[in-house]
A and B are shown apart, each in its own frame.
Chain A
């Protein structure tokens, strides 16, 4: 028993009581990590508990510890004792609160939850009392009465502690007591479905099973009318079962005003509306945190129950700080220390990387880095990453590291990265500093198609109990929040979609602007709508479910399941932990990011093709550097397909930035990002680079420090902060932020939307810089940039790793355009452009493109000699054909070509008729002198039945010869249309070329002419819409890229024009644009003034289309993120089918 530290409450008739008199620790708190149950963030609950002066707060989510790290961090910040806990919902017994008393008990709790989660489906946890018993040592349990438990069924003696509420007024409860009944003996219950036994019986059973483990019985006062009677019943039960009664608040939110949101959450959970939810809703707003005094009043007469909360709080001494991390031992051979092994590997690597001798500078860097690694004991970390990379190399999987520690000389020598430290001057110390006690950060990108091999290797090497993927907490964002709240509030499906539809680009995170609400035909002044939007605002940022992180692995030396619960992922063969990367970082656990990158697959394919056809063995590290031709090409914005710099924004930047060295590419990659754009750093940098503006370093007033304090930080980027860490360093140097401040800033950057602490930091940084003599405008810009980085930060080392891929891919494109095109096509889907543009670009670079053919093509696009000079032409692969299955194509390729006719192919390759039809539709029988129509006719004649096995190899045909049927010839324009439908591109002609006459009549120019058109000239152009973009950084502006038979043109649609031509802009596939030319150096845009949707003209391309009623079917559109690119825009793409009547694939739209 713990000595009571407080005096027993005397008279408690006061209003809220006096917290000085009594003390209380809240033991039952449901946060919003019990998805759709808790109505408050962990941080809010912790802060409120502190304000109310509670002694301690336990977080007890349902079968999960997902929110515990955040609670731990928040509690540490405000100085509140956090009790680590969980609410165990069991299959065969009432729920239990479980509080581990020490590290070992915590480990057992994690193991228990893992057992439950691994036996259930993703997101669920199936536990039985037996499991709890097996992991009970060291825990404290609190039994909870079920919600539907009827206390009247208990035989309650008039408890002596039951003090009357007021003089002479006796509660009704006392009438219920019946002394003479005996309790039923509890019966043992196995894992079979729960038999109907009463709560008391369960309590006896639990008490018996848990033996000496302390178990309490919880009582709460939630204003349901008969609370005191129920508490009295529980007190009696507690005495009878020898489970001391303990008071709990059964808290769902921090303050009463969260009731509405809690009600809405309940509706979302139950899939009902607020008007229909009825009794699933709570009757009142009492499930908030309460002061000790108030609890004392509610539990008057049960003071020991309050005191026991302190007893439990005192006994639970476990803190997450005790989770000391230990690196896995595997990568270190026995008998060697990790540091010495790392040094050996590094020097070994030096001989490999620098066969001609190591430069002095690199040698010095290596020595310094190794010393620092030794000092911080990071060697095992580097060894772990090296181990994974080594595996990838042994399997010939291309990979590259990035992240703060990745661009060190050590990593170069270990082969983790290919950025030569001699080429780029990155200070390792800047990323890993002894003051910042954070593990280093290395992410490794692998070929996206082969990443799973690496993941399974990690599982195999470290075991599933020691390796797990981290989680990503999927939170409500504006769109999902408004949808769910709207539905719960009973808005019609229409209104809900209208509201949700308005949220274009949810980055702003703010409330929906009134204008948008009105635009959707809704009245923003409507109180119901206002309430919906208010609740939406509250709901945004609430966790909705856990999902596996794309590739963040946590590895431990001991069992991972004793550090954090591990559960099943939705994907087969994947398990993931309950914590996300911020949680991992907060606890200092080791994480290795194993990511997939489409460009690496592409580069690998390109290297293989170059090796095969040109006999040149290339690696990321030995591609010739600083090639003038490559930079010339990039300066001309000739970058379709090149990693990272192929987007419209990057293509605009290239001619302005004019990269000439590798470091310029590093800047190029980093500059077109939300950070520098929001910080308005782009234009100053360009002006200084072109010499228009003097390089200038803002400085503090002399009394505050050296004038050139920023030159050290910003010297490399001409005085303009472009990289994430530059902005952080400015905060340290210019705003004199302490380490703690910087840490807070870094954390706020990652999570500022969730916590909203950024405002305070903003004030602090700006005022501090201004006080030291910097201009307010500069200070504000620096801070804005930090805010921008918060969303999509790019530190210098990341940029450097990416820049290498930019260079390598540009080099391949420059010197081996056919190889590059083939590799890109074979790595689809990835990047920004569709196959049509890739092939077109290759042809413009002098590559001869040949169509896919059953006799000549492989599955992948290939290179084949063509023409007299033996130069290599690009032969499109069968993979280009929509809907063709890879197994079928391989069967065809393996069957011994050439085939003499369709029947021969069918017989010998044994492919399905549907495959043949797809091949015919794609016009792949030209080598048999059959066009698509004739080929289809032939295929259709093969009959519905598959070839009989007996006749498979027989020479005789099952069907005799048939009369020649002359089908109507297909026009070229229709062939083109069909090509687009089945291959998404046509080598025969561009669809617009058939409409040129019509366009000429309207004075429409070709896109190619724009290059030589004067600034300000009025032009009309027409084309197929390739890309539509509405970037978040350019408010309300839509960028469109269109293409005709001569080239592409970029157009801008300003919001005013957009309002007028919204329908056209959003829907047109073929568009005519009238507007003025806007030239900026080499960049030409057409500023749209009038737009015409001429999609109907595309139908004219089909034979005899005019005058006929052609039904227009709609293709299904699928949403999927682009797995091949570093950013993950959601774009819509055509999941076409050869039979669909679409003429041109839908544009790629980026919001």
Chain B
């Protein structure tokens, strides 16, 4: 007989968030996680405080707010919830190799033949519960011969929800029919017929029941679910498998201790991995080296690349820098190098700059990677265009490895207007100017103690400050930009800040850029 543990995390979304970011889910304020759908913003989870204040899952946020204005809300993150649950399921492997997530907030573990390792089923459940509770998770566990019964016991029975072998039928009889994992419609229908508890179904003639609850999807049918819970019908349970990413692995009977060996083995793995990538026409964007230590702990080294990469040397260069700092403890007995994120990589020629295999490579991306890896992602940046009329705001620095790097096509452009100078001064420099008022271009100006006579001028291009950025700060003044050319043919981009006729303070002139 199989023995299945079902674990239910009634507060999964909230507790998951709290574990990830304690500040995001404080216990002392009412919090709701929300999702916007076609019927407006709906609540998908609430914390204990909000629940105590009467906020319910499924409610519209607006309704909840009407009654509880102080209700804080955050967007739900179903993907993160799911990923974290998967991770937790993986962790549950310690109780049995066959385990998987069960719905959005549950896990099942097949512990057949395992319980004695823990000193019995009760002790196993205690161990599981206390560990989960140490993680800061509210968990309810059920244990029975079938997944169906365990699932029902975890969610609906009064703890301890342990059904001894063969006891399932009796234990689940008083539970409500919802415990059978029915669709809400089916459960509602049963209840409308007065059939509220699972035990009531045992007595009914099966034919009568079947006629009313035969369903095209057999799993939804009442009898199928009942039989699954009672073990009269087997339920296929698909255990968790490892993620299908590419990985290569080596293990040794004796743990490796020396750094050199480790590095050499890693290099071997890198070569193997690159061979696999090459064979599939892929390149790795992110790799992870896992070192399984002899004491049962795991250390991970991961690194990202700004381009799909399958050069073992490059991978090694990136890994090597971090490998040295690792504490291998009592030694490493398993090494796994995984390509966590891969992309298509077509072969293309590279030249310039980077010394590799005796030839000279040109790809600045390789240099960027090396620099980023060495100096930190915050220190290596690139300029991106930004949609702003204000010249100094029209470009923005972003980390070289960030996503923007790849979105060249999204670069915004101005709609019209004269060209901007190719060279912009870091800070505008004040100049002295003779100009017509109110809006004439400079006729003469003095910059860096040199006088210039203007022979050509164009403008003004009037740029008003971005008022929405100055709501909380001092207001700046409107600028009139002129493109001018002096006798020597040099082009300048100058501006007047303020107006002669409107402002109290006199306008000031600056040179901001140079034309070739």
Contacts and interface: CB of A to CB of B under 8 A. Distances in A.
A1043 to B, nearest CB: 22
A921 B191 CA distance: 12
B387 interface: yes
Contact of A171 (B178, B439, B458): B458
A570 interface: no
B421 interface: no
B280 interface: no
Given A169-B455, A940-B189, A1113 B468 contact: no
A614 interface: no
Given A528-B472, A968-B195, A497 B436 contact: no
B69 interface: yes
Interface string A155-193: 000000000011111111100000000000000000000
B56 A1114 contact: yes
B413 to A, nearest CB: 7
Contact of A281 (B54, B178, B389): B389
B438 interface: yes
Nearest to B209: A965
A772 B388 CA distance: 62
B238 to A, nearest CB: 27
B393 to A, nearest CB: 10
Contact of B185 (A170, A941, A1139): A1139
A279 B411 CA distance: 12
A969 B62 contact: no
A228 B482 CA distance: 12
A224, A226, A531, A932, most chain B CB atoms within 10 A = A224
A940 B413 contact: no
B59 interface: yes
B193 interface: yes
A959 interface: yes
Contacts of B413: 279
A1111 B178 contact: yes
B208 interface: yes
A1108 interface: yes
Contact of A169 (B66, B200, B418, B457): B457
B456 A171 contact: yes
Interface in A59-83: none
A148 B454 CA distance: 30
A16 B456 contact: no
A1063 B53 contact: yes
Contacts of A1114: 56, 58-60
Nearest to A1141: B188
B211 A275 contact: no
Contact of B457 (A16, A165, A281): A165
Interface string B58-78: 111111011111101100000
A48 B250 CA distance: 82
Contacts of A279: 387, 389, 412-415
Interface stretch (B111-119, B130-138, B293-301, B459-467): B459-467
A147 B208 CA distance: 74
Chain A interface bracket (under 10, 10 to 19, 20 to 34, 35 or more): 35 or more
A1035 interface: no
Contact of B67 (A284, A494, A1067): A1067
Interface in B434-457: 436-441, 443, 454-457
A940 B185 CA distance: 13
A631 to B, nearest CB: 41
Nearest to B472: A527
Contacts of A494: 72-73
Interface string A1051-1066: 0000000000011001
Contact of A225 (B184, B418, B438): B418
A196 to B, nearest CB: 18
Given A166-B436, A225-B460, A1066 B468 contact: no
A1141 B481 CA distance: 67
Contact of A1139 (B62, B156, B188): B188
Given A169-B443, A224-B461, A497 B65 contact: yes
A869 B36 CA distance: 60
Contacts of A1117: 60, 63
B212 to A, nearest CB: 4
A735 to B, nearest CB: 43
Contacts of B417: 224-226, 283
A501 interface: yes
B196 A1104 contact: yes
B203 to A, nearest CB: 9
A1109 B53 contact: no
Contact of B176 (A228, A520, A1109): A1109
Given A497-B41, A521-B70, A1063-B53, A150 B416 contact: yes
A275 B458 contact: no
B352 interface: no
B44 to A, nearest CB: 12
A1063 B71 CA distance: 12
B344 interface: no
A937 B193 contact: yes
A303 interface: no
B83 interface: no
Interface in A461-514: 489, 493-494, 497-498, 501
B438 A15 contact: yes
B501 A16 contact: yes
Nearest to A529: B471
B214 interface: yes
Contact of B436 (A13, A172, A1116): A13
Given A275-B468, A493-B36, A223 B460 contact: yes
B356 interface: no
B150 to A, nearest CB: 17
Contacts of B244: none
Contact of B441 (A166, A937, A1139): A166
Interface in B174-189: 176, 178, 184-185, 188-189
B196 A147 contact: no
A260 interface: yes
B39, B67, B185, most chain A CB atoms within 10 A = B67
A970 interface: yes
Nearest to B188: A1139
Contacts of A281: 389
A228 B212 CA distance: 83
A1103 interface: yes
A1103 B463 CA distance: 72
A259 B467 contact: yes
Given A286-B462, A933-B193, A967-B193, A1113 B416 contact: no
Contacts of A173: 458
Interface string B192-209: 111111001000110110
Contacts of B415: 147-148, 279
Given A278-B388, A493-B41, A148 B416 contact: yes
B478 interface: yes
B49 interface: no
A803 to B, nearest CB: 37
B386 interface: yes
A260 B194 contact: no
Interface in A1-56: 13, 15-16
Which 6 pairs show the lowest CB-CB distances between chains A and B? A278-B387, A225-B461, A223-B462, A968-B194, A940-B212, A283-B389
21 contacts: A15-B438, A15-B501, A167-B443, A169-B454, A225-B458, A225-B483, A226-B418, A226-B458, A259-B464, A274-B468, A275-B468, A277-B387, A531-B471, A932-B192, A933-B193, A933-B194, A936-B189, A963-B207, A1067-B67, A1093-B54, A1112-B56
Given A224-B418, A284-B462, A1108-B176, 6 more contacts: A167-B443, A170-B456, A962-B211, A963-B205, A968-B194, A1109-B156
Interface of B: 36, 39, 41, 53-54, 56, 58-63, 65-70, 72-73, 156, 176, 178, 184-185, 188-189, 192-197, 200, 204-205, 207-208, 211-214, 386-389, 412-418, 436-441, 443, 454-464, 467-469, 471-472, 478, 480-481, 483, 500-501
